[in-house]
């Protein structure tokens, strides 16, 4: 564990990276601004530990997933009838407030819950924040490992087997691993099925977003530029399409000038990024692996 002096040095080094990037941003050479935040005294290695999804598992999941994958052709056909050029599910009341996962590596639970909350709202007209803690505590039987990581699809597998999921209100977030105390009498949302989206296909991702709703997705969230993202349309040459370290919720897409972007809900609190959200370059070579892992829940 680093001492105060080392923390100070890490902070200063990070501050230098932010400042030099923002100089380029002010000169019009970057599409987004960075900013100091509460991750300021963490090295990128330490920071990544906080975000982690089970990367190897996500690749494994995709290799065995063709039988549970939606067809890009079907999605395209359905979406082409709607001709939507931008969408933001926040404006439609499908998205719960941004929360902060803190020091527990459970982004997968926030991602899974976020996409399901939207489907439940679509079905019932009521938006209910669902329990992330229940997924952390109770989905280990499906292969998730609590605060050490997991996957949205495994979380959905648990919800189906359990017969549903409780609300945040009756099983609140504790930011740590706990014993499972799920109570079936308190279930507020159910799930009948889930499907993967075609891998590496941003058009299919857009079509699913338009025709079905918000999508549980994963990205490479391991770069220093992402750690200190503040606002704008993010892209990073250091981002890979294979190191899917962070699960998030895709809630929209649009254009700003000539730039296309995805709008994504994060789980690092409302003070990170654009009030807890970020915009990511769209149709820019599968930026940060945005279309490598997409899962949609069906209620």
What is the number of alpha carbons within 13 Å of residue 10 lying toward its C-beta?
18
Residue found by looking up tokens 């017969």 in the block: 163
What is the Cα–Cα distance from 144 to 151, expressed in whole angstroms?
Answer: 7
Annotated catalytic residue 266: yes
Per-residue tokens: 189? 């949302």
Question: Could you say which of 107, 147, 239, 288 is catalytic?
Answer: 107
- 107 labelled catalytic: yes
Q: Which of 162, 260, 266, 288 is catalytic?
A: 266
Q: Are 278 and 190 in contact, with CB atoms under 8 Å apart?
A: no
Distances (CA, A) of 298 to 110, 230, 272, 288: 17, 33, 30, 26
Tell me which of 21, 144, 246, 260 is the catalytic residue.
246
Distances (CA, A) of 188 to 165, 166, 168: 6, 5, 10
Residue 106 annotated among the catalytic residues of the structure: no
- Can you list the pairs that 200-203 forms with residues at least 24 positions away whose Cβ atoms lie under 8 Å? 200/241, 200/286, 200/291, 200/292, 201/72, 201/291, 202/282, 202/283, 202/286, 202/290, 202/291, 203/72, 203/76
Residue listed under structure tokens 């490479």: 220
- The answer to whether 260 touches 173, Cβ cutoff 8 Å, is no
| CA pair distance 211, 197, nearest whole angstrom | 13
Known catalytic residues are: 107, 246, 266
């Amino acid at each position: 564990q680093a001492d105060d002096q080392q923390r100070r040095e890490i902070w200063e080094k990070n501050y230098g990276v932010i400042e030099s990037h923002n100089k380029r941003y002010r000169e019009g050479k970057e599409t987004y601004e960075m900013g100091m935040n509460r991750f300021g005294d963490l090295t990128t290695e330490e920071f990544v530990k906080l975000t982690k999804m089970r990367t190897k598992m996500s690749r494994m999941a995709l290799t065995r997933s063709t039988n549970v994958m939606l067809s890009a052709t079907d999605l395209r056909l359905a979406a082409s009838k709607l001709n939507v050029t931008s969408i933001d599910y926040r404006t439609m009341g499908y998205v719960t407030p941004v929360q902060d996962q803190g020091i527990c590596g459970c982004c997968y639970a926030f991602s899974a819950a976020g996409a399901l909350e939207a489907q439940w709202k679509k079905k019932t007209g009521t938006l209910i924040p669902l329990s992330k803690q229940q997924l952390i505590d109770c989905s280990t039987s499906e292969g998730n490992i609590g605060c050490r990581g997991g996957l949205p699809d495994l979380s959905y597998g648990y919800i189906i087997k359990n017969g549903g999921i409780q609300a945040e209100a009756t099983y609140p977030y504790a930011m740590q691993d706990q014993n499972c105390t799920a109570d079936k009498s308190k279930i507020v949302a159910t799930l009948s099925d889930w499907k993967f989206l075609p891998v590496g296909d941003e058009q299919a991702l857009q079509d699913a977003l338009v025709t079905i709703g918000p999508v549980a997705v994963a990205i490479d969230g391991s770069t220093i530029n992402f750690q200190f993202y503040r606002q704008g349309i993010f892209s990073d040459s250091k981002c890979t399409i294979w190191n899917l370290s962070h699960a998030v919720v895709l809630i929209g897409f649009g254009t700003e000038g000539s730039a296309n972007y995805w709008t994504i809900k994060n789980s690092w609190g409302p003070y990170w990024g654009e009030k807890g959200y970020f915009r990511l370059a769209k149709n820019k070579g599968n930026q940060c692996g945005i279309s490598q892992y997409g899962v949609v829940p069906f209620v």
